[in-house]
Structure 1
Amino acid sequence: MINYLLFQAGWFACVLGGNQIAMATAVIILFIHLLWIGSWHQEKQILALTFLLGCAIDSFLGNMEILQFHTDDGGRILPLWLACLWLIFATTLRHSLDWSRTHKLYGAILGFFGGPLSYLAGSKMSDVTLAQPLWQTLMILAIIWALVIPILQLFSQAWLNKAKN
């Protein structure tokens, strides 16, 4: 429950607070997570992979103008606060979202609905714009997220299995 609440607080801080608050929030949440909830030794791969994959996905969507970032670099690279969200999200995979590791279909359904809704809510509160027509953008995000959660959980399971050996 603490992991879920930290993610929710982090989501709002990153979306509403901008880059500096997002960076401070991500550091604090990661510190709390690794000190009391998770373990760097057990989670470093999934944290790194999720962060890098998420940044690549959102940067790609930005370059395709599906997500429009209103940043100083012309919107070519995702804003720091959005990258911080990916790191905070990564902390949930082995904790509040661990159930999606063994129930991948439910994880895909969560991604299909939760991913686009998160972007939609974030776009209402930040400097990110979703491309029009909106239904197409939401469908693209739904498909991506329906794949992202199960794929990340496959990697998580593989690393857990490797650690047992």
Structure 2
Amino acid sequence: MMTNDKIKLIANYLLFQLGWFACVLGGDQIALAAAVIVLFIHLLWIGNWHKEKQILSLTLLLGCAIDSFLGNLEILKFNSQLDDAGRILPLWLACLWLIFATTLRHSLDWSRTHKLYGAILGFFGGPLSYLAGSKISDVTLAQPLWQTLLILAIIWAVVIPMLQSFSQAWLNKAKSG
């Protein structure tokens, strides 16, 4: 029989997957609604705002900064916005970062204690997510594709362990405080 904790881990993973598809396929308005719903369910049933506000906020800000930077380098091209302001990532992509943040202390919590495995996950999973997203959204990846995927792999191999290090530091501080 499954424990309540395992059910919450599975629910966290499924909410992320549903949120990913809603953000990538739905555009800004649907992504915003999906992010609000996912965050509401997450904080009501799975997580806790008091314990997770730092990691949720940091992940959102870091993710927006990374993808905006990649947009300014034209490694990511946000096709729905044609003017110079289009170098700022679209709202749906920011919502995706927030939804991703909900996994760090739950379905991806294992990567907090196994940073090498988290880096490997990031190295392969990050670029694959961008590649899949580029096939069904308004984001284009720069050519040659292998270079873009390698850049994304390196970034994600650093991002997941880094976020989990911050998460661990906040957990340690909460235990000692």
Q: TM-score range by the shorter chain?
A: over 0.9
Q: 2:155 and 2:121 mapped to 1: Cα distance?
A: 12
1:10 aligns with 2:19: yes
Question: Could you say which residue in structure 2 is the equivalent of 1:143?
Answer: 154
CA deviation profile, 1:26-73 (whole Å, cap 9, x unmatched): 000000000000000000000000000000000000000000001334
Deviation at 1:76, TM superposition (A): 1.1
Letter in 2 for 1:91: T
Structure 1: 5+ residue stretches without partners: none
Equivalent position of 1:115 in the other structure: 126
**Percent identical across equivalent pairs?**
86
Gap regions ≥5 residues in structure 2: 1-9
Aligned residue among 19, 32, 36 for 1:23: 32
What value does the CA root-mean-square deviation take over the aligned residues? 0.6
1:86 corresponding residue in structure 2: 97
Q: Normalised by the size of structure 2, how large is the TM-score?
A: 0.92
What is the CA–CA distance in structure 2 between the aligned matches of 1:113 and 1:69, rounded to whole Å? Answer: 22
Equivalent residue pairs, number: 165
Alignment partner of 2:48 out of 15, 39, 45: 39
Bigger-Rg structure (1/2): 2
Q: Secondary structure at the match of 1:94?
A: coil
Q: TM-score, normalised by structure 1?
A: 0.99
CA–CA separation in structure 1 for the residues paired with 2:33 and 2:136:
19
Counterpart CA distance in 2 for 1:77 and 1:101 is: 30
**Match for 2:105: what amino acid?**
R
